[in-house]
Amino acid sequence: MGICMKTTIDIADSLLLEAKNISSIENTTVRALVEEGLREAIKKHKSCGTFKLRKATFKGKGLQPDFSPEQWNKIRSAAYEGRGG
C-alpha cells in the first residue's frame, strides 16, 4: 500500500456521523471512505486539465486615428455611445 501518514482533519459532526453509519453498513472504515473521497476529488481535478484561453483576436489596425491610448475617457464614451450610459 505504500507509506501511510497520520493526519488530523476537522469535519462537521453530521458528516462524520453519516460516514460512520455508511462504514458500518458497508463493513469498511471511515478512513477507507475518506481515502475513496480524496481519490475521487484528485481524479476529478486531474481530468479538468489546464485552462487554455482561445485566440480571440481580429484583423485590425489598432486604434482608429481619432483615438490615442491616452484618451481612455474618449474611448469609453464612444464605446457606450447610445447605450444610456
Q: What is the pLDDT of residues 60-70, one digit of tens each?
A: 777 777 777 77
Provide the pLDDT for residue 79: 82
| Contact present, 33 and 22 (Cβ < 8 Å) | yes
- Mind listing the pLDDT tens digit for each residue in 12-51? 999 999 999 999 999 999 999 999 999 999 998 888 777 7
User: Residue 17: inside a domain, yes or no?
Assistant: yes
Domain that holds residue 23: 13-48
User: Residue 71: inside a domain, yes or no?
Assistant: no
pTM strictly above 0.85 = no
Number of domains in the chain: 1
User: Residue 63: inside a domain, yes or no?
Assistant: no
User: Residue 85: inside a domain, yes or no?
Assistant: no
User: Residue 74: inside a domain, yes or no?
Assistant: no
